[in-house]
Amino acid sequence: MSCAKYQFTDALLCHDDELEGRRIAFILYLVPPWDRSLGGTLDLYSVDEHLQPKQPVKSLVPSWNTLVFFEVSPVSFHQVSEVLTEEKSRLSLSGWFHGPSPPRPPTYLEPPLPRSPHIPRDHEILYEWINPTYLDMDYQVQIQEEFEERSEILLKEFLKPEKFAQVCEALEKGGVEWSSRGPPNKRLYEQAEESTLPGVLRDCMELLHSEAFFLLLSNFTGLKLHFLAPSDDDEVADGKEGEVASTAAGTEEGASPSSSEPENGPGPTGNTSQQSDGQTDSAAEGIDAKNELNVPMCHGELRHWQTGHYTLIHDNSQAEFALDLLLYCGCEGWEPEYGGFTSYIAKEEDEELLTVNPENNSLALVYRDRETLKFVKHINHRGLEQKKTFPYRTGFWDFCFVYYE
Ligand SMILES: *[C@@H]1O[C@H](CO)[C@@H](O)[C@H](O)[C@H]1NC(C)=O
Ligand SMILES: *[C@@H]1O[C@H](CO)[C@@H](O)[C@H](O)[C@H]1NC(C)=O
Ligand SMILES: *[C@@H]1O[C@H](CO)[C@@H](O)[C@H](O)[C@H]1NC(C)=O
């Protein structure tokens, strides 16, 4: 049993409470007079055919000296919605009654996200879109040195100002079809329907997907994202020992016929706690999407972020070697305290390795290994303050690409 105090902007995102031996969850509320407008409700989710949570179907308002309890099961998905008052705190005692767990259905694993190789586009596209500073050879060498040392870099004012302005304008104008990405125990944000993207946004997606851009990224990072890029083996002389040295291992993994990652492993039992305010990763899944041809691949999406959105690290989050790219738009007045930043943590350790904050026209590159997971921090109701200074704004957008050697 423990006591929890939720204050302004605190929330506990969708999870099922399942842990070996937990049978009944209970909560005794010790709240001052409370109503729905203060947030902090206990929301219970329905599930889909894969027993994944869909949406809240019941929402309980906490009240003084009220006991709530429910059976812990593979479908007992619930959340504590964000507390919206600065005046009151939501106090409760909660815990579990234990006993032998009944047999569980097999863990559902999401199909991996589709990956594709570069699309043919020559260098022209780079000169058209990218700040010329980043196409300067000497500067690329500097970038690569820094990247190899730190495994991450932030390239500010990445697109030419006129191109970036066009992208922002297209996003602000609307006309993009967004669909909500779930399930809520793993993520909640909006993803653009790629087939309906207006011209300039489609072109920007194409840029990040292009052959020329794969080459540029190879130059920035020293990774072999194109067969023409020099590989580690070609540069024996230099004894650099950054994390990027492990890329060699990554390539071998890609080529080996089977990985013994716990795809069919023991599932969400025992020793993994879901109670940490653990947040989640989407791209980390699908490690088994084998790169048969050993061709560099990528997956990319255009996302919209606003209050209520997040991604979570979950029991089946899997880490793999990959290069993450984030390019942000519409971040005027965005503050880290709103959430929405991307946080990288060491697997098993909850230790924060790196935070990437949304920033207009800045391109973040992060190379992660199999010990690293990432999540996007829940965007709280403070995020609505952006509107005070920028009335036409609701959140921000990012182009999120992941590249595999
Ligand atoms: C962000 O980019 C847009 C489009 O170019 C511009 O209008 C805005 O002033 C920029 N904001 C900041 C804070 O740089
Ligand atoms: C990458 O660097 C090589 C020189 O090392 C250069 O010839 C090539 O043009 C660069 N590629 C891009 C896309 O900038
Ligand atoms: C936790 O892990 C240890 C060692 O791996 C194992 O002996 C133990 O049974 C596990 N506990 C649960 C509850 O699964």
Query: pLDDT tier at 244 (50, 70, 90 boundaries)?
Result: very low
| Residue given tokens 């194109």 in the structure block | 226
* Ligand 1 atom nearest residue 332's Cα: 13
For the stretch 167-225, pLDDT in tens is 999 999 888 999 999 999 999 999 999 988 999 999 999 999 999 999 999 999 999 89
Distance CA 344, CA 332 (A): 23
What is the spatial order of strands in the sheet that 90-98 belongs to? 2-6, 90-98, 22-29, 67-71
Distance CA 257, CA 260 (A): 10
Kindly state the percentage of the chain with pLDDT values over 90.
Answer: 69
* Ligand 1 atom nearest residue 161's Cα: 5
Structure tokens, 200: 């300039």
* Ligand 1 atom nearest residue 168's Cα: 4
For the stretch 79-100, pLDDT in tens is 999 999 999 999 999 999 999 9
**Left (φ > 0), alpha (ψ -120 to 50) or beta: where does 159 sit?**
beta
CA dist list (Å): 1 to 4, 119, 147, 209, 250: 10, 55, 46, 50, 44
Backbone angles phi, psi at 3, to 5 degrees: -110, 135
* Ligand 3 atom nearest residue 20's Cα: 13
Best substitution site from 124, 215, 221, 227 to test ligand 2's pocket, by max atoms within 8 Å of Cβ?
A: 215
Distance CA 2, CA 290 (A): 44
Distance CA 132, CA 159 (A): 9
> CB of 271 closer than 6 A to ligand 3?
yes
**Closest ligand, as measured to the CA of 330:** 1
> CB of 269 closer than 6 A to ligand 3?
yes
Give distance in angstroms: CA of 269 to centre of ligand 3.
9
Is the whole-model pTM more than 0.75? Answer: yes
User: So what's the pLDDT on residue 232?
Assistant: 63
Give distance in angstroms: CA of 216 to centre of ligand 2.
7
Q: Whose CA is nearest to atom 1 of ligand 3?
A: 271
Q: Whose CA is nearest to atom 2 of ligand 1?
A: 360
Mean pLDDT throughout 249-269? 33
Distance CA 219, CA 261 (A): 31
Best substitution site from 166, 168, 328, 359 to test ligand 1's pocket, by max atoms within 8 Å of Cβ?
A: 168
pLDDT value at 247 more than 70: no
